[in-house]
């Protein structure tokens, strides 16, 4: 947050201000805070023992493992892409840049279900590459590779979207100075650019990881929900919920909610660093 308003600026009567604040806070409390608190309260409804039993259950552990694999592959790839795309877009002028920016946003505007469907159409048994994959004994859909690809697709824009505005606002002067003084391109990137963007990059990576681990729709379409085999944490939440194991579902969901809270914490931290 920047630019606090001067005290002499005209404002509303105290009663109006108080009323507006109260309406806004009541709305946010009921609408945002209550559901998040509910996750943790429901998770602990049968006591801590039931909670720990649910999150250490073998099916949960295997879902966590698969989620970490998917995030472990998609996040580094999308980080690399984010760095390359933001460098190309913010350091150079070229035709088609606006189109490129719009295309980078594409996975963000496509419904997660369609994102999943895209890969079923491509790699599924009746899909375009399906017969070839089948002949070579490669399973993509209803298997781990499909989950990894769908996750990568869905979380594709996050690092780039954080870095592009940041690098645009920072400009190129320091990089140009480094190059004039004889630094190589890589030296300039690692010693000048990277330190400048490290906080924005950190948030982009954390957001990307958090989205990768929480992705539901796209992964649900490609996974086939095979328990203990192609089950990620959000899918496991759905399975437990559909089996009326509410404590289990909320216990596993609380892990994802914690992940979301950590993401918010990192965002605040980064904003505090950047405004300094």
Partner 1 sequence: MSVRRNNMPGFRLTLGFTVFYLVTLVLLPLSGLLWKASALSPAKFWEVVASERALAAYRLSFGASFVAALVNVVFGGLVAWVLARYPFPGRRFVDAAVDLPFALPTAVAGIALTWVYSEHGWIGQHLVPLGLEIAFRPAGVVVALAFVGLPFVVRTVQPVLLELDPEVEEAAACLGASRWQTFRRVLFPRLVPALVAGFALAFARALGEYGSVVFISGNMPLRTEIAPLLIVGRLEQFDYAGATGIALALLVVSFVLLVGINAAQAWTRRRTGEEP
Q: For residues 52-71, which are near partner 1 according to CB under 8 A?
A: none
Q: Identify the residue among 131, 185, 195, 228 touching partner 1 (CB under 8 A).
A: 185
Say how many CA atoms lie within 13 Å of 201 toward its Cβ.
18
Q: Identify the residue among 112, 200, 204, 248 touching partner 1 (CB under 8 A).
A: 112
Q: Identify the residue among 15, 48, 126, 276 touching partner 1 (CB under 8 A).
A: 126
46 contacts partner 1 (rule: CB under 8 A): no
* Closest listed residue to residue 221, CA positions, set 234, 204, 208: 234
The span of 16-24, 55-63, 131-139, 195-203 binding partner 1 (CB under 8 A) equals: 16-24
* Closest listed residue to residue 154, CA positions, set 126, 200, 199, 116: 116
Burial of 143 (C-beta count, 10 Å sphere; 0-12/13-18/19+): middle
The span of 8-16, 46-54, 57-65, 195-203 binding partner 1 (CB under 8 A) equals: 8-16
The span of 21-29, 55-63, 131-139, 194-202 binding partner 1 (CB under 8 A) equals: 21-29
Q: How many CB atoms lie within 10 A of CB 219?
A: 29
163 contacts partner 1 (rule: CB under 8 A): no
In whole angstroms, the minimum distance from the beta carbon of 1 to partner 1 comes to 7
204 contacts partner 1 (rule: CB under 8 A): no
Handedness of CA 51, 245, 111, 117 (dihedral sign): positive
31 contacts partner 1 (rule: CB under 8 A): yes
138 contacts partner 1 (rule: CB under 8 A): no
In whole angstroms, the minimum distance from the beta carbon of 200 to partner 1 comes to 16
How large is the angle between the packed helices 97-109 and 158-170, nearest 10 degrees? 140
Instruction: Name the residue nearer to partner 1 (CB basis): 69 or 114.
Output: 114
In whole angstroms, the minimum distance from the beta carbon of 21 to partner 1 comes to 5
Binding mask 231-270 for partner 1 (x = CB under 8 A): ---xx-xx--x----x--xx--x--xx-xxx-xx--xx--
Instruction: Name the residue nearer to partner 1 (CB basis): 57 or 271.
Output: 271
Tokens 């709305």 belong to 27
Q: How many CB atoms lie within 10 A of CB 261?
A: 12
* Closest listed residue to residue 41, CA positions, set 246, 214, 232, 234: 246
* Closest listed residue to residue 59, CA positions, set 259, 246, 231: 231
Instruction: Name the residue nearer to partner 1 (CB basis): 93 or 136.
Output: 93
Count interface residues toward partner 1 (CB under 8 A): 107
* Closest listed residue to residue 175, CA positions, set 163, 185, 166, 165: 185
């Amino acid at each position: 947050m920047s630019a606090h308003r001067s005290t002499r600026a005209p404002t509303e009567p105290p009663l109006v201000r108080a009323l507006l604040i109260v309406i806004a806070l009541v709305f946010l409390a009921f609408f945002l805070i209550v559901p998040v608190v509910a996750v943790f309260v429901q998770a602990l409804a049968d006591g801590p023992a039931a909670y720990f039993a649910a999150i250490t259950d073998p099916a949960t552990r295997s879902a966590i493992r698969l989620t970490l694999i998917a995030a472990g592959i998609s996040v580094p790839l999308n980080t690399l892409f984010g760095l390359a795309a933001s460098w190309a877009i913010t350091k150079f002028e070229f035709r088609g840049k606006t189109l490129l920016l719009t295309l980078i946003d594409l996975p963000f505007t496509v419904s997660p279900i369609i994102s999943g469907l895209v890969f079923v159409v491509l790699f599924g048994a009746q899909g375009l590459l399906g017969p070839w994959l089948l002949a070579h004994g490669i399973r993509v859909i209803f298997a781990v590779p499909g989950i990894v690809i769908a996750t990568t697709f869905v979380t594709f824009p996050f690092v780039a979207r954080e870095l592009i505005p940041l690098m645009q606002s920072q400009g190129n002067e320091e990089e140009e100075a480094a190059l004039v003084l004889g630094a190589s391109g890589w030296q300039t990137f690692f010693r000048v650019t990277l330190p400048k963007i490290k906080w924005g990059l950190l948030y982009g990576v954390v957001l990307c990881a958090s989205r990768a681990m929480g992705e539901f729709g796209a992964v649900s379409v490609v996974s086939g929900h095979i328990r203990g085999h192609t089950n990620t944490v959000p899918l496991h939440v759905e399975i437990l919920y559909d089996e009326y194991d509410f404590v289990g579902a909320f216990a596993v969901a609380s892990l994802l909610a914690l992940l979301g809270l950590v993401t918010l914490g990192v965002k605040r931290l980064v904003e505090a660093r950047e405004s300094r």
